[in-house]
Amino acid sequence: MRTLLRRPRRALFALIGSAALALGGAVALPGTAQAANILSNPGFESGLSPWSCTGNLGSVVSSPVHGGSKALAGAASSSDDAQCSQTVSVQPNTTYSLSGWVRGSYVFLGVDGGASTWTTSPSAYSQLSVSFTTGASQTSATIYVHGWYAQGTYYADDISLDGPGGGGGGSDTQAPTAPTGLTSTGKTSSSVSLQWNASTDNVGVTAYDIYRGSSQVLSVSGTSATVSGLSPSTGYTFTVKARDAAGNTSAASNSVSVTTDAGSGGGTGFKQAAPYLYEGWGDPPNPGTVMSATGIKWFTMAFVLDSGGCTPAWDGSRPLTGGADQTAINQIRAAGGDIVPSFGGWSGSKLGANCSSASALAGALQKVIDAYSLKAIDMDIENSDEFENEAVQAKILTALKTVKANNPGLRTIVTFGTSTTGPTYYGNRLIEQAQSLGTNVDVFTIMPFDFGGGSDMYGNTVNAAEGLKAKLKSTFGWDDETAYAHMGISGMNGLSDQQENTTPAIWTQIRDWANSHHIARLAYWAVNRDRPCAGGGVVSNCSGIDQSNWQFTSITAGFTG
């Protein structure tokens, strides 16, 4: 019997093996001129601006932070160290002191063309400090922080550059000219590529800020950018502003309006009420009976695992076709419904962990897609073998990208645990990797239960969902509406493993919240337990509370998004 326990566990971020690094030595010089911090937005409390990050790999996160409520996250990849930089006005022949708090494997802090320092502190913030002296005619300096190739996401916060600001001939109040010739050079269902002519400035342009409507969504150093995380068949208007080292900002460029392609991805238009049904556990009910009694149309079928050699099978043991699971699927489809298979879960031998590569995993997923002509798949990413393993996370996301490209119209869902305030470290990492890899996940579904305490299941669920929304917005540059349209909630009916009690009244509140915010997906674990047994405890075939048969499924069927 599969345990009900499905909560993710926290673990320290393992130190990745060191790489051979060619580093310039840090230079410590005496006589630093003390002054206020001359960096703008040093703690990232107001977003990224005026910091500019290579590859659009920088984002602002709410956890983990060193001070305040925000920090920088740089999603270093195998081809980009996710350098984020800011250029400031300085005085010639002057010594400056640079410091900052960083977290991650091989994180560097320094100044372009000068001194730098680095640390390997993956699981906690540590302070880096270095000094440098400007040249005889130097009036600007570019401060940077970056990770190292293929070492995963780093974090930085509270960066300080102490010394006198530009003055005595170094001050600048002249804004750059507005960029011209803004045009769209390409589009997909979820992205728009832009290009423009360079601006001019008396001391030089350091960044271009891209706006979608009135919201800044990107900051780049060149004259082209791709805005991702957009919804299909949707009109957007973009402008660009230039910025110099002193923070002067130009007027806006000409505007360009683009409607994204219809495509098959995106987040809007996909609404799914699909409680979990498990044929290998908990006295599985006849799905046709449940559908007739409740009006539910979709079920999430659990779980597809590895039967050995990266070969998919129901629960790792029941045949992919021709067994009890196919019988249930046939019944569901005969009654006008459909299914989304869930790959993974808390325990068992999982394809994501055991397939040797992303291409091998994509091949295993394709076998299931082909067997049932699927419209959607769910990757339930849990435990230390998948959720808390960043390499496996990347393998799963890359495989999802492959099968989505090979199966037009296929919807992809990832499901993972959460805290009461939103995604944990590994949940944030999963979202960041999805953005970095261009996976174009349709729905990020959180499991708001087994929080480790707390009786307010409605409040905790809403707070967790709002935390997910904030993370999606900061990572993809989405507005509220788009973020909600990429979100799902998968709860647990009745008593959870930690005796949290989600009653029918509370689940109705959660359903109504989900409808009012137009999220994409509502599910719960599991239909097998959607039967009364007041005082029965946490068991596989009933909820442990007083309810009517299939009451949670009936409530879920009222989800319309």
End-to-end CA distance of the chain: 34
Distance, in Å, from the CA atom of 283 to the CA atom of 280, rounded to the nearest integer, reads: 8
Say which of 45, 279, 382, 500 is annotated catalytic.
382
Distance, in Å, from the CA atom of 189 to the CA atom of 385, rounded to the nearest integer, reads: 33
Give the residue among 543, 523, 522 at the shortest CA–CA distance from 531: 543
Residue 470 and residue 479 in contact, taking contact as beta carbons nearer than 8 Å? no
Residue 217 and residue 194 in contact, taking contact as beta carbons nearer than 8 Å? no
Q: What are the Cα distances from residue 71, in Å, to 46, 68, 102, 215, 478?
A: 10, 8, 10, 20, 19
Q: Ramachandran region of residue 455, left (φ > 0), alpha (ψ -120 to 50) or beta?
A: alpha
Q: Which residue type does 252 have?
A: A
Does 466 qualify as catalytic in the annotation? no
Residue 301 and residue 526 in contact, taking contact as beta carbons nearer than 8 Å? no
**3-state class of 182 per DSSP?**
strand
Run of H or E residues at 502: strand 501-502
Alpha helices in 205-323 (DSSP H): 287-294
Residue 74 and residue 146 in contact, taking contact as beta carbons nearer than 8 Å? yes
Question: Which DSSP string corresponds to 114-129?
Answer: S-EEEEEEEEEEEEEE
Residue 253 and residue 238 in contact, taking contact as beta carbons nearer than 8 Å? no
Distance, in Å, from the CA atom of 429 to the CA atom of 213, rounded to the nearest integer, reads: 28
Supply 222's token pair: 């060149």
Alpha helices in 37-145 (DSSP H): none
Catalytic residue set: 382
